[in-house]
Amino acid sequence: MNPVYIKEVVLHTINVSLKSPFTTSFGTIKTKEVCIVEIIDESGLSGWGETVTSDEPYYNEETTQTARYILKDFLIPKLIKKEIAHPKEVKQLLSFVRRHQIAKAAIETAVWDVFSKKNNKPLYEVLGGIRKKIAVGKSIGIQNTPEELVSKVAQYVNEGFQKIKVKIAPGADIEFIKKVRDSFPDINLMADANSAYTLEDIEHLKQLDQYNLIMIEQPLAHDDIIDHSNLQKEMSTPICLDESIHTYEDARKAIDLGSCKIINIKIGRVGGLQESIRIHDLCKENNIPVWCGGMLETGVGRSHNLHMTTLSNFTIPGDTAPSSHYWHEDIITHDIVMDRGYISIPEGIGIGSEVCRKSLKERLIQSESFISDYSVHPIPS
């Protein structure tokens, strides 16, 4: 395949507003800044990536501003004017920076897009995907009452979503899940706690075992795998890890310890598509199914999610709802739509879309272009 030469990188910082606020155990998101990364190669093709951050470090330690800073001062200087033989090399090139996975993923995914475009292939083909359409689930934020939650679930089940994920927190958990399960005995149902509990809540959490959930996501601390292993021994509901998994090594250790039976892969949280593929393959070898988590992405991050979900071990519907569930208007040229619970992978090259310049302009805070060699700090060669 043809290499890509990174001629220019542009960081477009934009402001986006969700259609409705999204509440989790760590807070409520309504608007956020995101940084859209554009890589331009020598033939004038653009590849796109997105920082799947929000303004506050509440889901994890990164924010849009920290990601922008790490991109500008460290990651872009490393990649500018470089020839990349294959995007799987980018992870190694960026490894001189510790962590900052979301910042790394934003530029790494843009390299995958421009590389696929350069080679005239849709991204899923370059990734080794096996599906042309993917099954879709819906993540529902914490509602005020069990009744409001049930009416939301009814709406999404009617729209055809193949999995319903309910956010839970102390005070909005057992009663809410019970009400949903009583109303919908047969749906694929799961709960996501975003680290709202500790091992002291073990008897409380065990009450969830009676509701036939396909999993409970990240019940315990964001940086834990030991307590999750102990909890999994006591609970019949499969545990899925989200926040705890930042690398292949994290996944390997969690699987070894029996800390989870399912893993949620988020491209941003693990630093890019290459690391996502490695975790996917490891899970497959160990009979751990995976699914693609969501970070309230614009069409750019969402497109990368769709392409990744075509890999064979993504056997559980992801949090990859269509654009219209998040935005009045998305920022990409081919809107992401759902048909009877499935999203088709666009056939175009790369992610199958470009970013719409007009949409960028309407939401723009600033565009910063990087075109020549520069270094603010010493960058290891």
Across 75-206, the runs of DSSP E, i.e. the strands, are: 83-84, 133-135, 138-140, 164-167, 189-192
- Residue 295, binding choice from Mg ion, ligand OSB, none, Cβ under 5 to 8 Å by partner class: ligand OSB
- Residue 330, binding choice from Mg ion, ligand OSB, none, Cβ under 5 to 8 Å by partner class: none
- Residue 250, binding choice from Mg ion, ligand OSB, none, Cβ under 5 to 8 Å by partner class: none
In the complex, least distance from residue 146 CB atom to Mg ion, rounded to whole angstroms: 21
In the complex, least distance from residue 59 CB atom to Mg ion, rounded to whole angstroms: 8
Asked if residues 130 and 368 have their Cβ atoms less than 8 Å apart, the reply is no
| Residue nearer to ligand OSB on the CB measure, 218 or 237 | 218
Site string for ligand OSB, 224-263 (x = CB under 6 A): ------------------x---------------------
Asked if residues 301 and 268 have their Cβ atoms less than 8 Å apart, the reply is yes
Taking CB under 6 A as the rule, does residue 319 contact ligand OSB?
A: yes
Site string for ligand OSB, 191-210 (x = CB under 6 A): -x-x----------------
Catalytic site residue 167?
Answer: yes
Spatial separation of the C-alpha atoms in residues 325 and 189, rounded to whole Å: 19
| Residue nearer to ligand OSB on the CB measure, 296 or 311 | 296
Q: Directed axis angle between helix 299-308 and helix 101-118, to 10°? A: 70
> In sequence order, which residues have a C-beta less than 8 Å from that of residue 187 and are 6 or more positions away?
153, 157, 163, 164
Catalytic site residue 81?
Answer: no
Taking CB under 6 A as the rule, does residue 105 contact ligand OSB?
A: no
| Residue nearer to Mg ion on the CB measure, 14 or 191 | 191
Among 84, 157, 321, 349, the residue binding ligand OSB under the rule CB under 6 A is 321
Please identify the residue of the shown chain whose CB is closest to the bound ligand OSB: 294
In the complex, least distance from residue 24 CB atom to Mg ion, rounded to whole angstroms: 8
| Residue nearer to Mg ion on the CB measure, 116 or 195 | 195
CB atoms within 10 A of CB 164: 23
- Residue 321, binding choice from Mg ion, ligand OSB, none, Cβ under 5 to 8 Å by partner class: ligand OSB
| Residue nearer to ligand OSB on the CB measure, 88 or 302 | 302
| Angle, alpha carbons 59-62-68 (nearest 5°) | 140
The catalytic residue among 266, 284, 358, 361 is: 266
Taking CB under 6 A as the rule, does residue 295 contact ligand OSB?
A: yes
- The interface with ligand OSB within residues 131-150 (CB under 6 A) comprises 139
Spatial separation of the C-alpha atoms in residues 274 and 305, rounded to whole Å: 13
Spatial separation of the C-alpha atoms in residues 35 and 121, rounded to whole Å: 25
Asked if residues 202 and 228 have their Cβ atoms less than 8 Å apart, the reply is no
Asked if residues 323 and 45 have their Cβ atoms less than 8 Å apart, the reply is no
| Angle, alpha carbons 277-282-286 (nearest 5°) | 145
Spatial separation of the C-alpha atoms in residues 29 and 218, rounded to whole Å: 19
Site string for ligand OSB, 264-293 (x = CB under 6 A): -----------------------------x
* Pairing outcome for strands 239-241 and 262-265: parallel
The single residue listed with the structure tokens 């993917």 is 134
Active-site residues: which are they? 167, 266
Query: Which residues bind to ligand OSB, rule: CB under 6 A?
Result: 59, 139, 192, 194, 242, 293-296, 319, 321
